[in-house]
Amino acid sequence: MTQQKSNKAALYILMFNMFIAMGSIGIIIPVMPKYLHIFGAAGQVLGMLIATFAFAQFIFSPIAGNLSDRYGRKNLIVFGLIVTGIGQISFGLSTDVWMLFVARFLGGLGSAFVAPPIMAFVADITTYEERGKGMGMLGAAMSLGFMIGPGIGGFLSKVSLHFPFFMAGGAAIIASLLSLLLLPSTKTTAAQKAQKQDNLAKQMARSVQMPYFVMLIIMLVFSFGIANFQTTLSLFVTDKFNYTPTDIAIILTVGGAFGVVVQMFIITPLFKRFGEMKVVLVNLFIAAIAIFLILFVSGFALILVVATIFSTATTLIRPAVNTLISKLAGNEQGLAAGLTNAYMSLGNMIGPALAGLLFDWDMNSPYIFGAIILMTCFLLALIWTLKKAPHLMQPDSN
């Protein structure tokens, strides 16, 4: 019973860390269009900044995941939160575009040392049967961060456009101190310590042989598709409808709120009744339709509804894929979490850069392309499951 209470307390701390990490990203989203105007920048620079963040994640996520398998999770999480905080504060202090890119690289590096160890930590303290619930709660913390973050960012931007970045950085550093004091240390097994530390290229090559490789591809393509929506939404509604940071914050906050409710109260029953794979397939299809519909709606209420549908669908996909990968990873939870974050980061790296270019060419094109990518991901997942793993269409098949 004592161990169960300790694990539950650790899970809550991990959720808080993920909430702060994601909230520190969400807090700046409604501010970015006007903030970049200070530097004379627009869609292309915004896309490249997000891609720079994802590039750092891509490089360091597998390394962080592997290191957490060998040396434990806690120290890496604390380090990652500190670097995340430094990156956010540096972004707010930047006076030239190149400084923005350096700050975002630091932010991506910090995120790489936060997310994979946290995901692996959750796998450490949950049973096989409770894995989906644990990942769902972690996903809810992520969604809550994205939900509250933009609302706070829109409010803080009234003080100054720089202020949200300072607050986000300070929150991440405070979270690192709380983790250092309150988060228990995990024990690594002999098998985990004996694992060889491969470089990024070898880990990516090795991932092809993993039983969850197709899940990694789904994460890559899925992340690539939603990046088109997330990167350009604030620019799209600002240019097309002249929305303010507060308007953008409301859209993101409502979508995030639905995502939190779904992940806290609905995702576990969905997994138990339908299985994770069906949840992935259905919501990939819904996300593809929703991202396309954003082009044909006008008026704040309709845009809010479509954006909320998209947000809710995507918040269901990520924990479902994470759960499937975790169940197939065995003792290599850190490696699997690192690879998952790396593939996600690869999609987040290519998607925003391309979305920014497409937006500057035609503001509608990122959403058309994003819908095509998400529908392709749906078909890929459906065909693979029916041909290679039909058992995944049933709940509790593992």
pLDDT tens digits for 111-124? 888 877 887 788 77
- In the chain, where the domains are located: 2-182+200-393
Fold classification of 2-182+200-393 is: Growth Hormone; Chain: A; (1.20.1250)
Q: Name the band, by pLDDT with cuts 50, 70 and 90, for residue 142.
A: confident
In the predicted model, what is the mean pLDDT of the chain? 80
The pTM score is 0.69
Q: Name the band, by pLDDT with cuts 50, 70 and 90, for residue 292.
A: very high
Q: Which of 217-231, 271-285, 346-360 has the highest mean pLDDT?
A: 271-285
Nearby residues of 323 by Cβ (< 8 Å), 6 or more positions away: 131, 132, 135, 136, 271, 276
Cα–Cα dist 67/52, whole Å: 23
CA distances from 46 to 50, 92, 113, 182 (A): 6, 15, 23, 37
Question: Is the separation of the CB atoms in 80 and 131 below 8 Å?
Answer: no
% of residues, the chain, pLDDT over 70: 87
pLDDT at 160: 84
Lowest mean pLDDT: which of 275-284, 325-334, 354-363?
Answer: 325-334
CA 110 from chain center: how many Å?
Answer: 13
Q: 3-state class of 209 per DSSP?
A: coil
Question: Is the separation of the CB atoms in 351 and 242 below 8 Å?
Answer: no
pLDDT at 4: 63
pLDDT at 290: 92
Q: What share of the chain is helix, strand, coil (3-state, %, to 5)?
A: 85, 0, 15
